[in-house]
Amino acid sequence: MFRGKSRIAAVALALMTLAACRQKMANQPRYDPYEPSNFFADGMSARPRIEGTVARGEISNNPFLDTGKINGQIGDGFPMAVTREVIDRGHSRFDIYCAQCHGRVGNGMGMIPARGYRRPPSFHTDKLRTAPTGHFFDVMTNGFGAMPPYRTMINPQDRWAIIAYIRALQLSQNANAADLTSEQRAQLDAPAATGEGHGAAAEGAHH
């Protein structure tokens, strides 16, 4: 009887010791994200970031990649290789972050302007076709007129991927048959090779 009791006591003691170990980390006072606090005058528990500080891993040491600028001037081209994966990534980001205003094909006919927001310009104008890639990066980073900035929502790599996709969209609306290889052109011509008009249509497409 007595031995039984002491065994229970020993087990209870062991459990308490284990619980104490757990307590140290998990149950210490702490704030949950966005939990209010009356310790700071602004009522928030989290402190704002000190101006000019940069989180580890946040910048790449490649100023063009991080800012779209080269020596302070808007740059052109891409800071990385534009692969199929990059364009696909840009496609999904564009559909999430841009298409609601700019439209899925970038013609400015998104749902938000249809409901009264300022209508964005089409990407299929000479002005935006010839605008350097760094301009698009800058618009996404800092906003442009009525368009808000997206730098806190879209990281620099994804901003570049979106630009690659915008370039693909621009090409899709402004392609020239002369840009194709002869095999691609043969493919393009093949389904039309049915009637009299084929020759003339192909001529027209070649400009």
Using the minimum distance from each CB to ligand HEC, give the nearer residue, 96 or 186: 96
User: CB–CB of 140/84 below 8 Å?
Assistant: no
Binding to ligand HEC by residue 112, rule CB under 6 A?
A: yes
- Our CB check for ligand HEC shows the closer of 66 and 189 to be 66
Residue type, 140: M
Residue 26 corresponds to which tokens in the numbers above? 């998990």
Instruction: Answer yes or no whether residue 164 interacts with ligand HEC by CB under 6 A.
Output: no
Shortest distance, CB of residue 105 to ligand HEC, whole angstroms? Answer: 13
160 in contact with ligand HEC (CB under 6 A): no
User: d(Cα 169, Cα 34) in Å, to the nearest integer?
Assistant: 40
Q: Identify the residue among 86, 162, 164, 169 touching ligand HEC (CB under 6 A).
A: 162
* Nearest of 122, 89, 87 to residue 105 by alpha carbon: 122
Q: Is 63 in the site for ligand HEC (CB under 6 A)?
A: no
| β-strand partners of 144 | 147
Write down the residue that tokens 């929502």 correspond to: 153
Q: Which of 65, 86, 140, 169 binds ligand HEC (CB under 6 A)?
A: 140
Q: Report the amino acid identity of residue 101.
A: C
Residue with tokens 């039309």: 192
Closest C-alpha to 153, from 141, 164, 162: 141
Q: Is 120 in the site for ligand HEC (CB under 6 A)?
A: yes
Q: What token pair was written down for 19?
A: 């619980």
Site for ligand HEC in 73-102 (CB under 6 A): 97-98, 100-102
**Which residues bind to ligand HEC, rule: CB under 6 A?**
97-98, 100-102, 112, 117-118, 120-121, 136, 139-140, 144-147, 150, 154, 162
